[in-house]
Amino acid sequence: MEAAADEERPLIPHLLSHDEEGSLYTSDGTVDINNQPALKRNTGKWRACFLILGTEFVECFVFFGVAKNLVTYLTGDLHESNVDAARNVSTWIGTCFITPVIGAFLADTYWGRYWTLVIFLSIYTFGMLTLTVSASHPLLMDSLHNSGIRYVAVYLGLYLVALGEGGIKPCTSALGADQFDGADPVERVTKASFFNWVYRYKKLVGSPLKRVTQVVVAAVRNYNLRLPEDCADLHEVPVTTEQNCKIQHTQQFRFFDKAAIVATSPDEKGPAASKSPWRLCTVSQVEELKMLPRLFPIWASMILFFTVTAQMSSTFIEQGAAMDNRVGLFTVPPASLATFDVLSVMFCIPLYDAVLVPLARRATGKDRGLLQMQRLGVGLALSVAAMVYAALVEARRLALVEARRLALARTGKPMSIMWQAPAFAVLGAGEVFTAVGILEFFYDQSPCGMKSLGTALAQLTIAAGNYLSSAVIGAVAAVTTRGGEAGWIPDDLNEGHLDHFFWLMAALGVVNLLHFLYCSMRYRGNNTTAL
């Protein structure tokens, strides 16, 4: 028995040659539960990914289940107004996309991904239990409603869930991508691609932000120094110390070039290499910072797209609640219409890859078919089309309601909720072009050392879009309810003009699309040269 056990026991690492050890153990420093080098045959790959995929699936299922039904719960059970409910939903969703910054920092700096995932998953679970209890005992909670305890319980649960999202989203994607160490490079990229495109917040607040901050501080400290006429006199180091990536000098944002001035004053003697990085930076490091403001106009253009998609969890649900939800023998909850968004994405992605890309490749001669800017522009245009359609549907619904009142002196819901389906489907198609396109654009256009930061900024557009949605709804309510008017989004939508709000969003979308087209024509891309 002992001999058999010895045969099963892995060889001691220090008795193996370098090649033998490399073939048995993972090459990225991964250790097992005993803090020993991890064996490849017992570590990672799809066996570990099933658990990670399961966690991500359950988290997404719970999140979207809450997000799509939350506005109905807030208006029905907590008796919030349509305006307050829509704003609160958008603010909560926006917070869910901000907290991953916190989770990524804790995972990369202190706790590691596994413990971060365990801790934040526990917070997430406790938040859902709190939210569930607040809705599970209506008699008890109704008695506590007037005291505000139920209200506190609901929002405590919601924001604990939002905090839990902060550790789950970045860690599951990073862990999933790490499970293929030692695999064939093509296999690793193919299998890990799913995780790599989900919430690239890894090391967001690590070295990239530190490098950016160093440039800003050095430029401010060197404010009184004069820039040399020849950019070759600015500080640069051999390529090997710049992560095999050198960036050519540009004339834009010249102030930041001061961070790369090699001072010659008496108190600054000594070789440039010995200077503090908070006093002297390289040209490539300065150019990394310059790339971020160049990306900002495109980043800002994407915010309104996610402001539009935020309506699928707020005003679209409120509109559906005012429509006839009987479809044959079935009763369709307003939140169920979001299924058409999902179905549209599932249908459009293979259609895009199998049909549109080959056609566009033949027309443009580009490997990717449509250029990144063109993809983003198509998505923005589709978001405008969705808001125009939603406005037309609401205008028609209000006309039918008014006709019933005048002709038959009856009230009711004369328009089927299924008229909303095309709006969800068009926005789903827009997400195929824009939501994935913005990740791809920021990843490609970010400097070599800031890929994670770039894709994290792309994800932050979702948070910014939801916060903007909350702000716009609040501003519309404040302006349209002056003088005692019902406003565009009253509690009884039959008395308001939700169509005007949708037209406003469509108009803002047109202005945003024009701004994007202007910025995209002026954008020249980065000038990174991999060496």
For 299-340, strand residue ranges (E) read 326-327, 330-331
Q: What is the 3-state secondary structure (H, E, C) of 437-486?
A: HHHHHHHHHCCHHHHHHHHHHHHHHHHHHHHHHHHHHHHHHHHHCHHHCC
- What is the pLDDT at residue 28? 57
Residue 180 has phi, psi (to 5 degrees) of -115, 30
CA angle 234, 236, 241 (to 5 degrees): 165
- What is the pLDDT at residue 146? 57
- What is the pLDDT at residue 104? 74
Domains of the chain: 16-196 (1.20.1250.20), 207-285 (no CATH), 288-524 (1.20.1250.20)
Q: For the stretch 242-255, what's the b/e string if a residue is b when 16 or more beta carbons lie within 10 angstroms of its beta carbon?
A: beeebbebbeebee
For 156-291, strand residue ranges (E) read 245-247
pLDDT tens string, the chain, 531 residues long: the values are 444 444 444 444 444 444 444 567 766 566 665 667 777 666 666 666 677 777 778 888 888 889 999 999 999 888 899 999 999 999 999 999 888 878 877 776 778 777 888 888 899 999 999 998 888 766 566 665 655 788 888 999 999 999 998 888 776 665 555 554 444 333 333 333 333 333 344 444 475 677 788 888 888 888 888 888 777 778 777 655 444 567 777 778 888 888 888 876 545 555 555 577 788 888 888 888 888 888 888 889 999 999 999 999 999 999 999 999 888 888 999 999 999 999 999 998 888 888 888 888 888 777 777 788 888 999 999 999 999 999 999 999 999 988 887 666 565 678 899 999 999 999 999 998 988 788 888 877 777 666 666 667 777 899 999 999 999 999 999 999 988 888 999 999 999 999 999 999 999 999 999 999 998 888 876 654 333
DSSP per-residue codes, 46-105: HHHHHHHHHHHHHHHHHHHHHHHHHHHHHHHTS---HHHHHHHHHHHHHHHTTTHHHHHH
How far is residue 295's CA from residue 120's CA, in Å, rounded to a whole number? Answer: 32
Residue 527: partners with Cβ closer than 8 Å, 6 or more residues away: 247, 248, 250, 287
HSE-up of residue 340 (Cα within 13 Å, Cβ side): 19
- What is the pLDDT at residue 410? 60
How far is residue 114's CA from residue 55's CA, in Å, rounded to a whole number? Answer: 12
